[in-house]
Chains A and B, each alone.
Chain A
Amino acid sequence: MLRFVLRRSGSALILMVVVSFVAFMLIFAAGDPAVKLAGEAGSAADAARIRAFYGFDQPIYLQFLHWIGAALHGNLGHSLYFDQPVSAILFDRLGTTLLLGLVSFIFALAISLPLGIAAARWQNTWIDRTALIVAVIGQAMPTFWFALLLVVMFSVIWPILPTSGSETWRHFIMPSVVLGYFAAPAIMRLTRSGMILALETDYVRTARALGIAPRKVLLKYALRNAVIPVVSVSAAQFGYMLAGSVVVESVFAINGAGRLAWESILRSDLPTVQALVLCFSLIYVILTFVADVLNAWLDPRMRLADARA
């Protein structure tokens, strides 16, 4: 286990450097930062001055080395756009988004696991069909649409929830429902298919033949196997939620990291983007790690396999 953790930490470090470098190059590919900083009224002369001021005329790899050198010393740099230390703007917003992501994810699980299990248990019945339609709506309906419907429903027609901001828990209800519903279809469909497969396996049949209560068979033996792909895909779902949170944060005016990332990219705020990419990659490394550990616990065979490798 310790070896596992160490190996993971090593590859995580390499990963963060590689991802940072790619992100760095992509920013330059996506548009001259000097032109962006000069703003929409900036002239060619403004851009040239800014280019020299921030050293954007140096080779990209040199700029990157500069940045990574400072980052290693814990200095994430100075936001070009806000003219403030990146750390001062980053952590608040990251916290907001992670909280939003977490609540949404719990909501997603709360609707998708029961529905997925029920759909498998009563396959091809109206329950299965209802679950399918719930999933399809989630898949086919862009986040912004669902979000705006909720805004109209619960803050105009029936004004019981705040539309914008992130001050209280009530502010998180609509955003979490939207984001959670966005993540739910994948989890639900995979749970369903996993359960169907698991219910066919020998050990579930054996368990059933041994006279173990059907509920216990379903929830203890079958589910344990069925959720393995679900656990794995959760990292990706969390990623989709971070991407989706841009829209949700915009609609509900939440000052989170999703929107910060989006806007910082649009305005080529290099240090801010880089810091966010670092945080995101760290989050994914941790998530994948947790998913692997969880899966090893769920399926002992995997644990053995890993030890063998």
Chain B
Amino acid sequence: MPAHSDAASAPAAAWRMPRWARHSGLVAGGIILAIIFLMGLLAPVLAPYNPYDQNLLARIVPPIWHETGTWAHPLGTDHLGRDYLSRLLYGARVSVFIGVTVAFVSGIIGTVLGVTAGYFGGKTDTVISFIITARLALPVILVALAVVALFGSSLSVVVGVLGLLLWDRFALVMRATTQQIRDADFVMAAKVQGASTWQIIMQEIMPNLATNITVVATLEIAQAIVLEAALSFLGLGVPPPLPSWGLMLAEGKSFILFDPWLITIPGMLLFGLVLAINLVGDGLRDVTAPDSRN
């Protein structure tokens, strides 16, 4: 075992695993992600049923590996007799969309605020810290309830609410990391060379935040999908009958003791998605991490 391992900057030493192996995570993650994206894209072709079609006479049919499962519904049916496989395929679209859009929206809000606070410090920092703490102190559910009472529920409301709720982690991490490096030698050097504030932030600071941005983004994608499940308890999730993995997790809750596959199946898919995103995130970092420090 080596004394240390730093994938980004050290020249490949003799003990290193071959390059392809180092990125096996990237490859595996990419494959899983591609499969999930294809599931969503090809849902109309792949789905054996219309995901909205109810059949009250065939409710909670178990999946095929269960002794009473049938090939008519390989993954069974839900509590309204809708084909589970079809709903999962269509749900992939909705959930991936929610996860990625929310991470994007909250990432932009949080990074802009966090970097600004961390870089400029002083009054700017006070104001932005104020906003962050205010956001943390307001109960999420109160905000969510108010929004849904005013606007009803729709996919865009879900993305908006989650985006506005999840930026704080970005902001806090970006603020701390920026504070940590704003006085580093390479930033000072850029300043001495007469670089503008914008150039310093974009060329010196941001590349050094990339790792943490990726880490937080992967966290937020999962968080958004799971939170959507929580929100749908309040009627703020995607409006029924639109399928989403979060909603399916939420609906599976009532069946957790006696028909656990209703939650296990979407849960496993979500696990796959989050794992893939994390693997890809780590892999991308390995490939692209900059060496601006030196």
Interface residues of A (CB under 8 A from B): 7, 11, 14-15, 18-19, 22-23, 26-27, 29-31, 121-125, 129, 132-133, 135-137, 139-142, 144-145, 148, 152, 185-186, 189-190, 192-194, 196-197, 199-202, 208, 214, 225, 228-229, 231-233, 235-236, 239, 243, 246-247, 261-262, 265-266, 273, 276-277, 280-281, 283-285, 288, 295, 299, 301-302, 304-306, 308-309
B179 to A193, Cβ gap below 8 A? no
Residues of B with C-beta under 8 A to A139: 219, 222-223, 226, 274
Residues of B with C-beta under 8 A to A201: 293
Interface string of B241-266 (1 = CB under 8 A from A): 00000000110010011000001000
Report A83 CB to chain B, min CB distance, Å.
Answer: 22
A124 to B22, Cβ gap below 8 A? yes
Chain A residue with Cβ nearest B256: A148
Which of under 10, 10 to 19, 20 to 34, or 35 or more describes the interface residues of B? Answer: 35 or more
Chain A residue with Cβ nearest B219: A186
A236 to B134, Cβ gap below 8 A? no
B46 within 8 A of A: no
B130 to A214, Cβ gap below 8 A? no
Q: A142-B230, A190-B215, A233-B173 are in contact. Are A285 and B133 (CB under 8 A)?
A: yes
Chain B residue with Cβ nearest A148: B256
Kindly state the separation between the CA atoms of A132 and B175 in the bound complex, as whole angstroms: 25
8 contacts between A and B (CB under 8 A): A30-B149, A31-B145, A140-B226, A208-B3, A214-B4, A229-B176, A232-B172, A283-B137
Report B4 CB to chain A, min CB distance, Å.
Answer: 6
Of A235, A288, A304, which contacts B183 at CB under 8 A? A304
B8 within 8 A of A: yes
Residues of B with C-beta under 8 A to A288: 129, 132-133
Residues of A with C-beta under 8 A to B275: 132-133, 136, 140
Report A28 CB to chain B, min CB distance, Å.
Answer: 8
Residues of B with C-beta under 8 A to A22: 134, 138
Residues of B with C-beta under 8 A to A285: 133
B257 to A152, Cβ gap below 8 A? yes
Kindly state the separation between the CA atoms of A232 and B257 in the bound complex, as whole angstroms: 38
Q: A288-B133, A302-B179 are in contact. Are A136 and B271 (CB under 8 A)?
A: yes
B139 to A200, Cβ gap below 8 A? no
A11 to B6, Cβ gap below 8 A? no
Interface string of B101-139 (1 = CB under 8 A from A): 000000000000000000001100110011011101111
Main secondary structure, interface of B, reads helix
B169 to A233, Cβ gap below 8 A? yes
Kindly state the separation between the CA atoms of A148 and B257 in the bound complex, as whole angstroms: 8
Q: Which of B1, B139, B279 has the most CB of A within 10 A?
A: B139
A142 to B122, Cβ gap below 8 A? no
Chain B residue with Cβ nearest A129: B25
B13 within 8 A of A: no
Of A202, A262, A283, A306, which contacts B121 at CB under 8 A? A306
Residues of A with C-beta under 8 A to B273: 140
Kindly state the separation between the CA atoms of A85 and B275 in the bound complex, as whole angstroms: 48
Residues of B with C-beta under 8 A to A229: 172-173, 176-177, 180, 212
Chain A residue with Cβ nearest B17: A124
Q: A295-B179, A299-B180 are in contact. Are A236 and B169 (CB under 8 A)?
A: yes
B218 within 8 A of A: yes
Known: A29-B149, A142-B267. 9 other contacts (CB 8 A): A7-B126, A19-B134, A23-B139, A136-B271, A228-B176, A273-B139, A280-B136, A283-B137, A305-B183
B141 within 8 A of A: yes
